[in-house]
Amino acid sequence: MTATPTAPAGTTDQGRVITYSEAVREALAEAMSADERVFVLGEDIGVYGGAFGVTGDLYHRFGAERVRDTPISELGIVGAAVGAALAGMRPVVEIQFSDFTCQAMDQIVNQAAKIHFMLGGAAEVPMVLRAPLGSGTGAAAQHSQSLEAWFAHVPGLKVVMPATAEDAKGLLLSAIDDPNPVIVLEHKLLYRTSGPVPEGAGRVPLGKTAVRRRGRDVTIVATGVMVQRSLEAAERLAADGIDVSVIDPRTLSPLDDAPILEDVSRTGRALLVQEAPGHVGFTAEIASRIVESPAIYRLLAPIRRLSGLDVPIPYAPQLETAAVPQVDGIVDAARSLMKDS
């Protein structure tokens, strides 16, 4: 059920390997060291080190003013970040679970997303909101959602979902640089996974899709923890002689669809995988982009979406596992896509 670490932390022939949460922390530390306008705020991010341990020792390194513990007041926290951003700072908010962005939606959707546009470009809101999302921890319906499509639906917000340690660092650095509000959704099962993040690794640009693996038969497009699961599925499919691509959009808004359309045109088969419920989900947008492009003429089989069930995330482990795509399901879906064509 938990994502598999790609490698133990340390140094390997891939260079330095660190965990996803270390990578986020490194980005925050580098950004704060480089730019005194950058500060982080959120619940229990100080001495406690963050509910998922992400801010860790930053409080001891940068002090209580720049690693700022807040009361349990999400609307106030995000509003304060919007105001501070308008007034020349570069705040990075941590919302303890992405589910609690619900409390702060007015400031995110009605304020942060629209201010630059509404004011005719006279102001900028260079803020970042980081929040863990996803299921797999037994925390049940109010602590396990994947609400990325909500944010991606709002013009004025940029939305990223890093799937590797290197992207966790690089996309966050780019998000902090960006003059717009950026929502960074980190999957909580990824925090303890590790991957290569070369010493001094820098920015990963927003709005650039990554091709994780190139194959002949099926194009799998996956987000968040589903990228890892799709790569695992790809190994198993390869053993059966099915050769798949795995594509990770990384930035949901703005979406770089060209690599996806190009790959689907080559394979003729698209399998779109997300953890969130399928109904009106992000992968519906990908499917639309495919059918609205010439890639549609190259399809050998109907597009297949594999998503979470349209249910709130349940508590019991056997129910929780059944509610979202697992590696087995991805393998089966890819196989059936091959049979259908």
Partner 1 sequence: MSKLGDDATTATRTLRTMWQIRRFEEAVDDLFARGLMHGTMHLSIGQEASATGTCFALRDDDAITSTHRGHGHCIAKGADLERMMAELLAKETGYCRGRGGSMHIADVATGNLGANGIVAGGIPIAAGAGLAYQLQGLDRVVVSFFGDGAANEGAFHEAVNLAAIWKLPVIFLCENNKYGMSFSTEKSFAIENIADRAVGYGIPGVTVDGNDVEAVNEVVAAAVERARNGEGPTLVESVTYRWKGHSKSDKNLYRTKEEISEWRDRDPIIRFERSVVERGVLDQAAIDAVRAQATEDIRTAVRAANAAPDARPDDLLEAVFAPATA
Ligand X SMILES: Cc1ncc(C[n+]2csc(CCOP(=O)(O)OP(=O)(O)O)c2C)c(N)n1
- Interface residues with ligand X (CB under 6 A) are 43, 72, 74, 96, 100, 103
CB of 333 to ligand X, least distance (A): 34
Q: Is the peptide bond before 196 cis (omega within 30 degrees of 0)?
A: no
Does 257 sit near partner 1 (CB under 8 A)? no
Phi then psi for residue 79, to 5 deg, are -60, -40
CB of 21 to partner 1, least distance (A): 13
CB of 143 to partner 1, least distance (A): 6
Does 47 sit near partner 1 (CB under 8 A)? yes
Cα gap 153→118, rounded to integer Å: 18
Q: Which does 248 bind (CB under 5 to 8 A by kind): ligand X, partner 1, none?
A: none
Who contacts 151 (Cβ-Cβ below 8 Å, separation ≥6)? Answer: 101, 108, 157, 159, 183, 185, 252, 253
At residue 51, the 3 state secondary structure works out as coil
The full 3-state SS of 196-247, as one line of letters, equals ECCCCCCCCCCCCCEEEECCCCEEEEECCHHHHHHHHHHHHHHHCCCCEEEE
Amino acid type, 297 = Y
* Interface size with partner 1, residues (CB under 8 A): 41
The residue whose two tokens read 């704060």 is 32
Which lies closer to ligand X via its Cβ, residue 145 or residue 274? 145
Does 73 sit near partner 1 (CB under 8 A)? yes
Which lies closer to ligand X via its Cβ, residue 100 or residue 207? 100
Q: Which of residues 282-341 bind partner 1 (CB under 8 A)?
A: 309-312, 314-319, 321-323
The residues assigned a catalytic role are 74, 143
Burial class (CB in 10 A: 0-12, 13-18, 19+), 33: exposed
CB of 21 to ligand X, least distance (A): 18
Q: Which of 7, 9, 29, 51 binds partner 1 (CB under 8 A)?
A: 51
* Chain residues in the site for partner 1 (CB under 8 A): 43-44, 46-49, 51-53, 69-76, 99-100, 102-103, 137-143, 309-312, 314-319, 321-323
